[in-house]
A and B are shown apart, each in its own frame.
Chain A
Amino acid sequence: MKTRSTWLGYLLVGPSVLLLAVLLFIPLLYSLQISLQDTDLSHGAPKWIGLSGYVDSWKSGELWKVGKHSIVWTVCVAFFQVVVGLAAALMLNRKFPLRWLVRVLVLLPWVLPGVIAALTWRLVYDSQFGFLNSLIAKLGFGQHATDWLGTPGLAMFSVVLAAIWKGYPFAMLMLLAALQSVPQDQYEAARIDGADGWRQFVHITLPSISGVLKTVVLLVSIWTFNYFEMIYVLTGGGPIRSTHIAPTYIYELSFGHFNFGEASRVSVVSFLFIFLISLVLIRQMHKNERNGGA
């Protein structure tokens, strides 16, 4: 039984709530306020322009372009992180020699600090010294000096691949833990009923791990959307702005051009976007919980 204690409860929970209010919620409102101002340095002193700033940002097209990149980036990276993570978890859940070692090795990318991962990939993608071009040569596809990060059309693919590599072990870890808690007798029963591997996966494995799977999708999507340093280090948003996502664009606007108003408009829009997506996903999760009787 929980003890009823109002004042002690507020006393204990108070510091964290206060901290988050001051550091997250008030800044968010402040962001909203800045977003209603015209802070373009070439227009002189900042002035209040209300919502018309949003209309102008929309019309200029840059917001939509960055939004599109953000969506492509988030969806591709999160989707493949979860798919690769699930495939890896299924493999590592089987018994094979030296499994412990493989389990440790596949964690390396996730534990590696983000900047270092990005710097390493920068080297891998280097047109001259990078191992990727030399791998292609070794595989017999001929000597190329492909500039993986400097070619418009190719750069987005390159940053996405690097980000999948960086984050898939997290999905793997969580899903592996979930797989290990699936009761084995269910599989026995299914085998007796003659269900093949695929059927067992769809009817037993997937439903049992769906709670964790949804959480993973939610977390991975949010992290990816916010993932700044990979793109900042690899391409800085280029070439010809083909890989700018919301965080790098916000950084460039605010700390490159000191246009805090425009940057705040991008912030507010991305906040709303993330918020709505999370709401939908969390709703899904709760629905599941009620059905599961938990």
Chain B
Amino acid sequence: MTMKRIGPRVLFAAGLALLLFFTLFPFLQMLSTSLKPADQLFAVPPVWIPEHFTLSNFTAALHHQQFARYFMNSLFVSVVTCVLVIVVSVLAAYGFTRLEFPGRKFLLNVILVSQMFCISAIVIPLYKIVSALGLLNSYPGLVLAYMAFTVPVAIWLLRSFMLNIPIDMEESAMMEGASKLQAFVRVVLPLLRPGIGATAAYVFLMTWQEFLFSLVFMTDPAKRTLPIGIMDFKGQYETNWGTMMAASILISIPVFLLFLVIQRQLISGLTEGATKG
């Protein structure tokens, strides 16, 4: 092989290696710290690959009194948000893609524009409204706030999935005497199922890791969600990095698995939404 052919290959391999190193470097520290026994945690300079591995940090994280509770809180809030968002957004996406009514374009634009909302701009008024309604430290308050910024994305995604379902199929079903509702349930919904799955998973990922609203709305420690709860391990004087990194890994695994399952669907929805805006 001549230099001309080897040169680009070496460059390519080097670029790829650099990318992987940049991406994985923090994970190396995360994993290494979580597996280190207590006596090695505070070694200076830090050891990259611990001499002995221990799972004690993981058991400590799981035995932390509140960990299970935070987990359940997060799960509850995320699942409820998901279900509500999907119901509301499927209806709206159907309305926007299948029906014609005055103001359709305008309302669609309003919804698309609300994705551009600056979340930090509404945290204060929303906090005041929620506290005036007595909903601070309550799950309905948090779920409502989460719906505010997930519904626009969900409609965007579902609309692009629905645009891909040929309208003729419903028309022929209706020709055979099905009502609009029957056509929707029998024709559109089955085809839309992967799209709904991807959208629901995306909404789940967003709410599962949401931080700002949870921090502001849930001041009662027992009602905290995981992202805020994990700060418990960051003690007042000294952080127990071993347990914290172990807990971090435990929280991240379900999210990562979920994402792997829906990846393909989600990307097609996002990119098509982008070109069919």
The contact string, 1 if C-beta is below 8 Å from chain A, for chain B 149-189, is 00110010000000000010001000000001000000000
B252 touches A112 (CB 8 A): yes
Residues of B within 8 A of A200 (CB): none
User: In this assembly, does A28 line the interface, its C-beta being within 8 Å of a C-beta of chain B?
Assistant: yes
Segment among B50-58, B60-68, B99-107, B192-200 that sits at the interface with chain A: B99-107
User: In this assembly, does A205 line the interface, its C-beta being within 8 Å of a C-beta of chain B?
Assistant: no
Task: Count residues of A near B (Cβ-Cβ below 8 Å).
Answer: 102
Partner of B208 from A5, A17, A113 at Cβ < 8 Å: A113
Segment among A6-14, A54-62, A148-156, A184-192 that sits at the interface with chain B: A6-14
Given A16-B88, A250-B120, A278-B116, also A109-B151 (CB < 8 A): no
User: In this assembly, does B111 line the interface, its C-beta being within 8 Å of a C-beta of chain A?
Assistant: yes
- Report how far A251 CA is from B167 CA in the complex, Å: 47
Q: Which of A17, A84, A134, A165 has the most CB of B within 10 A?
A: A17
Q: Which of A116, A246, A289 has the most CB of B within 10 A?
A: A116
Residues of A within 8 A of B222 (CB): none
A123 touches B120 (CB 8 A): no
A91 touches B16 (CB 8 A): yes
A174 touches B24 (CB 8 A): no
For the complex, would chain A's binding face be called helix, strand, loop or mixed by DSSP majority? helix
A15 touches B92 (CB 8 A): yes
User: In this assembly, does B244 line the interface, its C-beta being within 8 Å of a C-beta of chain A?
Assistant: yes
User: In this assembly, does B30 line the interface, its C-beta being within 8 Å of a C-beta of chain A?
Assistant: yes
Given A8-B95, A111-B256, A115-B211, also A212-B104 (CB < 8 A): no
A16 touches B92 (CB 8 A): yes
Partner of A267 from B30, B98, B121 at Cβ < 8 Å: B121
CB distance from B82 to the nearest CB of A (A): 15
Partner of A24 from B28, B45, B114, B241 at Cβ < 8 Å: B114
User: In this assembly, does B113 line the interface, its C-beta being within 8 Å of a C-beta of chain A?
Assistant: yes
User: In this assembly, does A130 line the interface, its C-beta being within 8 Å of a C-beta of chain B?
Assistant: yes
Partner of B252 from A84, A113, A218, A264 at Cβ < 8 Å: A113
- Report how far A17 CA is from B147 CA in the complex, Å: 12
B100 touches A19 (CB 8 A): no
User: In this assembly, does A31 line the interface, its C-beta being within 8 Å of a C-beta of chain B?
Assistant: yes
A251 touches B152 (CB 8 A): no
Partner of A12 from B91, B115, B268 at Cβ < 8 Å: B91
User: In this assembly, does A23 line the interface, its C-beta being within 8 Å of a C-beta of chain B?
Assistant: yes
- Report how far A94 CA is from B13 CA in the complex, Å: 11
A-B contact count (CB 8 A): 290
Partner of A226 from B30, B118, B256 at Cβ < 8 Å: B118
Residues of A within 8 A of B25 (CB): 124, 131, 135
Residues of B within 8 A of A254 (CB): 123-124, 127
- Report how far A222 CA is from B121 CA in the complex, Å: 12
User: In this assembly, does A45 line the interface, its C-beta being within 8 Å of a C-beta of chain B?
Assistant: no
A215 touches B46 (CB 8 A): no
User: In this assembly, does B277 line the interface, its C-beta being within 8 Å of a C-beta of chain A?
Assistant: yes
List which A84-99 residues lie within 8 A (CB) of chain B: 84, 87-88, 91, 94, 96
CB distance from B242 to the nearest CB of A (A): 10
B121 touches A131 (CB 8 A): no
Residues of B within 8 A of A15 (CB): 88, 91-92
The contact string, 1 if C-beta is below 8 Å from chain A, for chain B 258-277, is 01100100011011011111
Q: Which of A12, A181, A263 has the most CB of B within 10 A?
A: A12
Residues of A within 8 A of B81 (CB): none
A2 touches B260 (CB 8 A): no
Residues of A within 8 A of B124 (CB): 31, 34, 250, 254, 260, 263-264, 267
Given A91-B16, A120-B248, also A19-B88 (CB < 8 A): yes
A23 touches B121 (CB 8 A): no
B122 touches A131 (CB 8 A): no
CB distance from B175 to the nearest CB of A (A): 13
Given A114-B209, A215-B274, also A20-B256 (CB < 8 A): no
- Report how far A23 CA is from B268 CA in the complex, Å: 29
- Report how far A104 CA is from B80 CA in the complex, Å: 29
List which B216-255 residues lie within 8 A (CB) of chain A: 216, 226-228, 230-231, 234, 241, 244-245, 248, 251-252, 255
User: In this assembly, does A291 line the interface, its C-beta being within 8 Å of a C-beta of chain B?
Assistant: no
Partner of B120 from A4, A17, A113, A246 at Cβ < 8 Å: A246
Q: Footprint of A on B, CB under 8 Å? A: 12, 15-16, 19-20, 22-30, 32-33, 41-42, 44-46, 48, 88-89, 91-92, 94-102, 104, 107, 110-111, 113-129, 144-145, 147-148, 151-152, 155, 167, 171, 180, 205, 208-209, 211-212, 216, 226-228, 230-231, 234, 241, 244-245, 248, 251-252, 255-256, 259-260, 263, 267-268, 270-271, 273-277
A selection of 10 A-B contacts at a CB cut-off of 8 Å is A2-B98, A2-B167, A13-B95, A20-B151, A107-B263, A123-B29, A174-B271, A215-B273, A216-B274, A270-B120
The 7 closest A-B pairs by CB, nearest first: A9-B101, A12-B95, A113-B209, A27-B125, A23-B148, A215-B274, A247-B120
